[in-house]
Amino acid sequence: MPGRTLKDKVVVIGGASRNLGSLIAREIASDGAKVVVHYNSPSSKDDAMKTAQAVKDAGGESVVHEADLTKTDEVEGLFEVAIGAFDKVDCMVNTAGMVIKKPMAEVTEDDYDKMFAVNSKAAFFMMREAAKRLEDGGKIVTVVTSLLAAYTGLYSVYAGSKSPVEHFTRALSKELFGRNISVNAVAPGPMDTGFFYPAETEDSIAFHKSSSMNGELTKIGDIAPCVKFLLTDGWWVNGQTLFVNGGYTTR
């Protein structure tokens, strides 16, 4: 059976300027993918441009677009840019997210609204737009968190705002039956990136490390191949949340 590749596939990546999103863009470029590199604000533009150039250097094609994914018209605009540049969209990967760590008693209304806007609302409307725009046979992958399977405090509004994405994933995967479009979520453990450290202390970092295989944090290099698998030969995986975390949590 021939392998499924990303050659000439158009992939929209939310949050592609740095960290996991950037690595996914660069890894799929070597297969000949056409990547829409999304970034959220002017402060991320330079990183987005570097990602786009790395995609081209690896043999793919790229276009860069700024959008606030918490605004539905800008989500729609991101997909319009993709179609305008490449005439179609085959896959959507959303890595954009935000973390706040504090006791629930200290979470403000503003904290709550920001977290659910970025982690839940943006994911929902990226998935909704993908459902409307993707070619048959497409793939949808969102990034959630392994904390969904943890019994812990301090991450209530973070894990809580990621939790709905599991339900979105199951519902949309069912709704797209008949179009051969798979919809999945990937749940990494705490990742060794700049996204993780600001919310943590030395003691909590040590605890997170001790909770997974080999006493290590999750590396983005361990997650990107799993996303690529779901976009290619893993097409038969559907409606699932994959915990890729070295045993940090299980379910």
Question: Low-confidence residues of the chain, pLDDT below 50?
Answer: 1-2
What does pLDDT average to over the chain?
Answer: 96
pLDDT tens per residue, range 168-208: 999 999 999 999 999 999 999 998 888 788 888 898 888 88
Q: Which fold has domain 10-190+221-244?
A: Rossmann fold (3.40.50)
Residue 41 gets the label, from left (phi > 0), alpha (psi -120 to 50) or beta, of beta
Instruction: Tell me how far apart the terminal alpha carbons of the chain are, to the nearest angstrom.
Output: 32
| Residue 14, H or E segment | strand 10-14
pLDDT of residue 1: 39
| Alpha-carbon gap, residue 204 to 111, rounded angstroms | 21
pTM score, whole prediction: 0.95
Residue 239 gets the label, from left (phi > 0), alpha (psi -120 to 50) or beta, of left
| Alpha-carbon gap, residue 173 to 139, rounded angstroms | 10
pLDDT of residue 3: 62
| Alpha-carbon gap, residue 242 to 199, rounded angstroms | 24
**Domain ranges for the chain:** 10-190+221-244
List the catalytic residues: 158
pLDDT of residue 193: 87
pLDDT of residue 205: 86
